[in-house]
């Protein structure tokens, strides 16, 4: 039961981060972008980057609801499925974000 609340709290934290990044335009929370030089930052479309990372945070929060539900109903398969989806979503987003210059200015 405690772990279910941990998963829910972590999902809520990711939703909060997603809102801050997507709607609050706090790009300094994005690792790698915040340490770039001004010249490197000028090459990126900040709104598109914030929107993409915000959506990614929302997706991660959604995947954490699966293991939280699994903990509440003692469904071991749901716990594992949720964490596998969490890792897969991370890998897919990293590949998506780093190919095709998606967040660079035209």
pLDDT in tens, 1-48: 899 999 999 999 999 999 999 998 899 999 888 899 999 999 999 999
CA distance 21 to 52: 9
In a domain, 102, yes or no: no
Quick: pLDDT tens for 72-106.
Answer: 999 999 999 999 999 999 999 999 999 998 999 87
Q: Please classify residue 85 by burial: count the beta carbons closer than 10 Å to its beta carbon, then call 0-12 exposed, 13-18 middle and 19+ buried.
A: middle
Contacts of 57 (CB under 8 A, 6+ apart): 14, 15, 17, 18, 21, 22
Evaluate whether residue 104 is within a structural domain: no
Residue 78: inside a domain: yes
User: Which pLDDT belongs to residue 1?
Assistant: 85
Phi, then psi, of 59 in degrees rounded to 5 = -65, -40
Tell me, yes or no, whether 38 lies in a domain: yes
- Both tokens of residue 102? 């998606």
Q: Catalogue the E-assigned strands of the chain.
A: none
- In the chain, % of residues over pLDDT 90: 89
What domain range is 6 assigned to? 2-97
Q: What CA–CA distance (Å, rounded) separates 46 from 23?
A: 12
| Structural domains counted in the chain | 1
What local confidence, expressed as pLDDT, does residue 24 receive?
Answer: 83
Question: What is the pLDDT at residue 25?
Answer: 82
Note whether residue 9 is domain-resident: yes
Tell me the pTM: 0.91
């Amino acid at each position: 039961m405690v772990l279910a609340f941990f998963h829910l709290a972590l999902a809520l934290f990711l939703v909060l981060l997603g809102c801050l990044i997507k709607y609050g335009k706090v790009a300094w929370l994005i690792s790698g972008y915040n340490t770039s030089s001004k010249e490197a930052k000028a090459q990126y479309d900040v709104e598109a980057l914030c929107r993409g990372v915000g959506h990614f945070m929302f997706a991660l929060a959604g995947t954490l609801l699966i293991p939280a539900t699994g903990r509440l109903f003692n469904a071991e398969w749901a716990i594992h499925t949720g964490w596998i989806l969490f890792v897969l979503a991370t890998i897919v987003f990293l590949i998506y974000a780093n190919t095709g210059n998606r967040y660079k200015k035209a």
